[in-house]
Amino acid sequence: MDVAVSKLTDGMQIMIGGFLAAGTPNSMVKALVESGIKDLTIVCNDTSFADKGLGMLIANKQVKKVVTSHIGTNKATIEQYNNKEIEVEFVPQGTLAERIRCGGSGLGGVLTPTGVGTIAQEGKQVINLEGKDYLLETALRADVALIGASIADEEGNLFYRGTTQNFNPLMAMAANLVIAEAQEIVKTGGITMETVHTQAIFVDYVVKS
């Protein structure tokens, strides 16, 4: 865990998997809170809760910006946002997933009708195709992705149980460095090929939860 945390520095853009702390690498988040690393930009589905998941980083005022689809369950995020202590870039959930997918697939962005004519359109390029307007949503990448897996093998292949999969496989493809936290680590071959959700080629480090 200490080795993994040592790879992170102030000011990084970090993707953190999970949906309201389900599928979040919670031990890694706690280690980050204790490290005091600050001025982070976090890309995440939501900001979880002030006392749980990645929301603890926000409550501890280690985050300067968050790119997310939802902040309503974290009172610390709401308070800091209202006090202009944190910047929030709101992204519709499906659009967020697609922007991350584009980042991992080498694409520049995606065209979507979601958000046309709303505040989500502000500052974005509008492209008309066959008489219909679309927003150009640019790809998202990060310096580091922190992934929460159910099982990892010694090579770094990952398996996620149920809905803990959420954003994790996409984020594992869209960062320069990927650290996976697993509840269980098995020998290579302990995860059958057809149940590997994230392949080892995307994973740089594995830590035990």
In this structure, how many other beta carbons lie within 10 angstroms of the beta carbon of residue 176? Answer: 12
Please tell me the total count of domains within the chain. 1
pLDDT of residue 87: 98
In a domain, 32, yes or no: yes
In a domain, 184, yes or no: yes
pLDDT of residue 119: 87
- pTM score > 0.75 for this model? yes
pLDDT of residue 157: 98
In a domain, 117, yes or no: no
* Structural domain that includes position 84: 2-90+140-208
In a domain, 22, yes or no: yes
pLDDT of residue 124: 94
| Most distant CA atoms of the chain, gap in Å | 55
CATH code of the domain in which 150 resides: 3.40.1080.10
CB-CB contact of 52 with 29 (8 Å): no
pLDDT of residue 88: 97
The H-or-E segment that residue 127 falls in is strand 126-129
In a domain, 101, yes or no: no
In a domain, 121, yes or no: no
Q: In order along the chain (209 residues), what is the average pLDDT of each group of 10 residues? A: 87 97 95 95 97 96 98 97 97 97 98 94 95 97 98 97 97 98 96 96 96
In a domain, 25, yes or no: yes
pLDDT of residue 23: 96
pLDDT of residue 5: 86
In a domain, 126, yes or no: no
Distance CA 73, CA 183 (A): 25
Among left, alpha and beta (phi > 0; psi -120 to 50; other), residue 117 is left
